[in-house]
Amino acid sequence: MSQSENDLHQRMSIPELNQLLNNAGVAYRQNEISNEILLELKQRFQISGIEGFRDLPHIKSHPRKTPAWMGDKILSLSIEHPGWGCVRLSNELKTQGLAISSPTIQKLLIQNGMGNKNERLWKLEEKSLAGEIQPSQEQILKIEKFNPCFRERNHPSNCPGQLLAQDTIMVGSLSGIGKVYLQSAIDTYNSFAFGFIHPSRLPDCAVALLHNEVLPFYNDHHLRIETINTHRGRQYCGTGKHHYELYLLLNEIQHQTSIIHNTRNNGFIERFHQIVFTEFFQKVLQTKTYSSLEKLQNDFAEWLHFYNYKRPHYGYRNMGIIPFALHQKYLDTRTH
């Protein structure tokens, strides 16, 4: 062995070897195992031996960064199958020859606002509405189940008041009160909602919501209601003397109806019922006992104000905008 070769293989302690090889290993991994960095490390070793790694910057070792192309593939696969969890995504990628752990996938999804199923469905809906992807029939069905408003995307409202959806749903039977119903109406332009709680399904209850809450709101903003969509039940339809239809006629509001047993009556009213039961009724009825409808109505009115004026509404059509903010945005554009 020549003197120069001997210099390249000088004796070193284990800690010294560990530090120098760690320097080289970190540089190797942090550059995504590129041929260029490997060539540079080989040249350093051939000229100066393992000592050549001493002047490499010592950086704490950490897991190798996920390549950008692999991250894009994970996000794309997650959008394609929003119901898949991280373990299933990891297993699917393994079948394609790509080994990446489920925790790494979860971290990447969280960084891109897709950490849970709901967020992935919102992202899928957003990309579909923006025309970035052409959703499959399977994807469309998943979006419509998650956000029924998406079904109405082909018949959009152009302004507040153009089309409202109205319906009644049974809240439950409360001790000491009896059956309780929620009468509600939703503006399909911005998901702005109206509602009140009552103990019956009479047509006059439907009229009361319009007369006391809905029409005064639009009159105050110098807007008119053009059409209201309901089902064909007796609460909303009947002969010429039917109170609800008569009230619409007197106010020159068109009545649009659908089959009473059709569960796909109007996506906006369905979505509101999902929200009001999940975020209001299920919570208050488990934590409070009501002795009168008035107390329940007061709590509901407080929640409804939060829904209309403070709560961001995700998905079609608001896409994260508060209902009244979208209403106000229209009014501002009309005055300019």
pLDDT tens, position by position, 59-117: 444 445 678 888 899 999 999 999 899 999 999 998 888 888 899 999 999 999 999 99
Q: Which one-letter amino acid corresponds to residue 81?
A: H
Give the Cα separation of 228 and 183 in Å (integer): 14
pLDDT of residue 60: 45
Q: Are 245 and 238 in contact (CB under 8 A)?
A: yes
Cα–Cα nearest to 163, from 148, 146, 185: 185
pTM above 0.85, yes or no: no
Query: Which secondary structure element, helix H or strand E, spans residue 140, and what is its range?
Result: helix 137-146
User: Is 80 exceeded by the pLDDT of residue 280?
Assistant: yes
pLDDT at 58: 46
- Give 109-159 pLDDT, tens digit per residue: 999 999 999 899 989 999 998 889 999 998 999 999 999 999 898 888 999
CATH topology of domain 163-335: Nucleotidyltransferase; domain 5 (3.30.420)
DSSP letter assigned to residue 266: -
What mean pLDDT, rounded, does the chain reach? 86
Contacts of 139 (CB under 8 A, 6+ apart): 80, 82, 124, 128
Instruction: Give residue 154's pLDDT.
Output: 86
pLDDT tens column, 161-175: 999 999 999 999 988
* Torsion sign over Cα 284, 289, 293, 298: negative
Instruction: Say whether pLDDT at 31 is over 90.
Output: no
Q: What b-and-e string marks burial along 119-132, b requiring 16 or more CB atoms within 10 Å of the CB?
A: bbbbbbbbebbeee
pLDDT at 278: 95
Closest by CA to 252, choosing from 292, 288, 209, 210, is: 210
> At which residue do the structure tokens 């009724």 appear?
281
